[in-house]
Structure 1
Amino acid sequence: MIEIAQLEKDYQVQGRTVSALRNINLHIAQGEIFGIIGRSGAGKSTLLRALNLLERPTSGVVKIEGEDITQFSAVQLQALRQRTGMVFQHFNLLSAKTVAQNIAFPLKLAGKMTVAQRTARVTELFELVGLNEHADKYPAQLSGGQKQRVGIARALANYPHLLLCDEATSALDPETTQSILRLLLDINQKLGLTIVLITHEMQVIRSICDRVAVIDGGEIVESGNVVEVFLHPRHTVTQSLVAENQALDLNLLQELAQRGRTSEHSYLLRLTYVGTATHEPILSRITAQTQADITILQGVIARIKNTPYGQLIVEVSGEEAELDKVLQLFGQADIRVDVLNDLLKQTWGA
């Protein structure tokens, strides 16, 4: 669907060159929900807007459905933007027009439908986004979540192949955010629509995305399947973003180090379960097969999109042979094990 190769974007600021994007290389598949996450100023908005050339790259290639859009004529670019929907952080609705008129506006601009066809399409979109009773209201009469639903319906009006979401939930409260994310997921599944969204919140990525790219300082520092990136972040920026959204906390490790909890007769382990193993009594089975003591210190069981997962921090105590047997049994149960003893020593001298 989307191929980005060696993308660069520079700005001229007070006579000097400022690099906003550097050597961006990404592949986004047809029908997936792809997230781009980063701190403010990381370059994620610039990257998103390069996908419909609202920001024209300094160099590089942006291919959509096999065509390099950086080479498009004005007419081709207009056609591209008509089949690319965009959802904005602050809704960008026309305050003097009703909800129905806002949704119909891009159809009217395209000039390809009769009045009756536009009315029928708006009715379809009301049903899709759950706004049937609000057709004749004005934006000022709507809640933030309702306004964003209007924005999504308007973005879908011209049957786009691609939907770009620019911090679409950051102006909303947590409950409304979840309802908008469920709507985007529903649209993706019903229409097979490719969705690219940017956010600074890992919870948004975890809720609906299939794959994610982490951007920092204008560069992609990590990318991959959301389950892998979320549970096993490699780059320090990703680790920081994940830590803000995790129940598993380095403060616990610091507390254990200060109390001198670990010793040569114990392991401090982070256990990661994914899929069906999440709900199996694996700890009970392993405890029954060894003489080691296993103490759960902290844990979380949740979901990443449709995948259940669990992460636990446990202390395993016993003789060396029993400790080795526990590690072997965890491996046989397809549980990822990270031994944290060395981390405590390196960080706090425990």
Structure 2
Amino acid sequence: MIEISGLHKSYTVAGKQVPALNNIQLSIPTGSVFGIIGRSGAGKSTLLRTLNLLERPDQGRILIDGEDITFYEHRKLLALRQRIGMVFQHFNLLSSKTIAENIAFPLRLAGQMNAQQRAERVQELLALVGLTEHADKYPAQLSGGQKQRVGIARALANAPRLLLCDEATSALDPETTQSILQLLLDINRQLGLTIVLITHEMQVIRTICDQVAVIERGDIVEQGEVAEVFLHPQHPVTRAMVAEQHELDLSWLSGLRHPDYRLWRLTYLGDSTHAPVLSRVGAETGVEISILQGVISRIKNTPYGQLVIGLRADEDTAIRVLKQLSAEDVRVDVITQQHLQQEAA
């Protein structure tokens, strides 16, 4: 478990103190994949780098397995960084070294294995990331995705308990991004290590993460389970990031006005996603329901659906429909004119 409390960090720019992190409070469960998402300059890289003290906070506590690492000095700091792997956006491979030598580099620095043990460990890691046949190549001979696989293998060399990913897929094309995310998921499951990643892409969060924190101007503005944050964003920054997925666009609905016409957003999660819920509810209540917009997809391993529906019903009938939908494990959010005006803006 990682516990972050009261974390502050500022930089001095042109003689002035510029805050980068403001009173950060986070709990990251052991063995989870935790995402930190934010725009450029929001503070996510600074926050990530405090976890291995590449950036020392000005105040606050970072507890890893109950021990506050902010007090660590040279010797303890070196030991800490051997237990924390880091994957970088632009790979940071040694161009004059072979792939095998790049992966072996942190093992040589640690000095805890002989040459034979290092060679065996490198072979294990090459197999893990699917690059066994590339051991004797150089970075320039590999694709971007292959280079990132080398970066992941190198980060895992000393069997860390925590893996930090600094925009690990932002330099890759969409197909390669998906393969790297799947590799990280496989590693998380096989090795049980905790992964903390930062990104500016909501698609990365929904593909791989269990929990997410949204950071804006050094503040955590929203956090929670990915499904809850993604499907029901509360903060304007989160809503804007979700809207960039272009899955549900409510702006065009602003012209649908009628005293008895109700607009609802339905959210299905898990087994109810593929069930004929609306058919059953319509048959049982006698209400005609129009599907105006919808999407079915997945958040990590969980299917979900969101529909915008319209129905004409008086108050009593609407309450009956709401009760029926709730009984089917469907969440209902009433779309008001205020919501539509916000979407249009």
TM-score by length of 1: 0.95
Helix, strand or coil: the match of 2:257? coil
State the AA in 2 paired with 1:126.
Answer: L
Q: Which residue of 2 aligns with 1:116?
A: 116
Deviations 1:3-44 (A, max 9, x none): 111000011111111000010011111100000000000000
Change (3 A) 1:226 1:345: closer
State the AA in 1 paired with 2:254.
Answer: A
Q: Which residue of 1 aligns with 2:164?
A: 164
1:256 matches 2:250:
no
Change (3 A) 1:39 1:335: same
Deviations 1:180-219 (A, max 9, x none): 0000000000000000000000110100101111000101
Counterpart CA distance in 1 for 2:257 and 2:281 is 21
1:299 matches 2:294:
yes
State the AA in 1 paired with 2:164.
Answer: L
Is residue 8–residue 60 contact of structure 2 (8 Å, CA) maintained in 1?
A: yes
Displacement of 1:344 in angstroms is 5.2
1:267 matches 2:262:
yes
Helix, strand or coil: the match of 1:331? helix
Helix, strand or coil: the match of 1:264? coil
State the AA in 2 paired with 1:97.
Answer: K
Structural mapping, 1:40-79, within 5 Å: 40-79=40-79
State the AA in 2 paired with 1:310.
Answer: G
Q: Which residue of 2 aligns with 1:193?
A: 193
Give RMSD over aligned pairs. 1.4
Is residue 99–residue 139 contact of structure 1 (8 Å, CA) maintained in 2?
A: yes
Displacement of 1:346 in angstroms is 5.2
Helix, strand or coil: the match of 1:329? helix
Deviations 1:97-127 (A, max 9, x none): 1111100111011111011000000000011
State the AA in 1 paired with 2:204.
Answer: V
Q: Which stretch shifts more, 4-13 or 284-293?
A: 284-293
Is residue 265–residue 318 contact of structure 1 (8 Å, CA) maintained in 2?
A: yes
Q: Which stretch shifts more, 314-323 or 43-52?
A: 314-323
1:103 matches 2:103:
yes
Counterpart CA distance in 2 for 1:304 and 1:346 is 28
Change (3 A) 1:174 1:283: same
Unpaired segments of 5 or more residues in structure 2?
Answer: none
State the AA in 2 paired with 1:150.
Answer: V
Q: Which residue of 1 aligns with 2:87?
A: 87
Report the identity percentage.
65
Deviations 1:275-295 (A, max 9, x none): 111111001101111222111
Counterpart CA distance in 1 for 2:343 and 2:115 is 70
Is residue 254–residue 341 contact of structure 2 (8 Å, CA) maintained in 1?
A: no
Counterpart CA distance in 2 for 1:304 and 1:347 is 25
1:128 matches 2:128:
yes
Displacement of 1:324 in angstroms is 3.0
TM-score by length of 2: 0.97
Is residue 257–residue 344 contact of structure 1 (8 Å, CA) maintained in 2?
A: no
Unpaired segments of 5 or more residues in structure 1?
Answer: none
Counterpart CA distance in 2 for 1:302 and 1:262 is 30
Q: Give the ranges of 4+ consecutive aligned residues of structure 1 lying more than 6 Å apart after TM superposition.
A: none
Q: Which residue of 1 aligns with 2:278?
A: 283
Structural mapping, 1:193-342, within 5 Å: 193-250=193-250, 254-258=251-255, 261-342=256-337
Counterpart CA distance in 1 for 2:162 and 2:278 is 45
Counterpart CA distance in 1 for 2:227 and 2:86 is 26
Counterpart CA distance in 1 for 2:342 and 2:271 is 34
Helix, strand or coil: the match of 1:242? helix
Displacement of 1:321 in angstroms is 3.7
Counterpart CA distance in 2 for 1:161 and 1:319 is 57
State the AA in 1 paired with 2:138.
Answer: Y
Change (3 A) 1:344 1:187: closer
Deviations 1:32-72 (A, max 9, x none): 00000000000000000000000011111111121111111
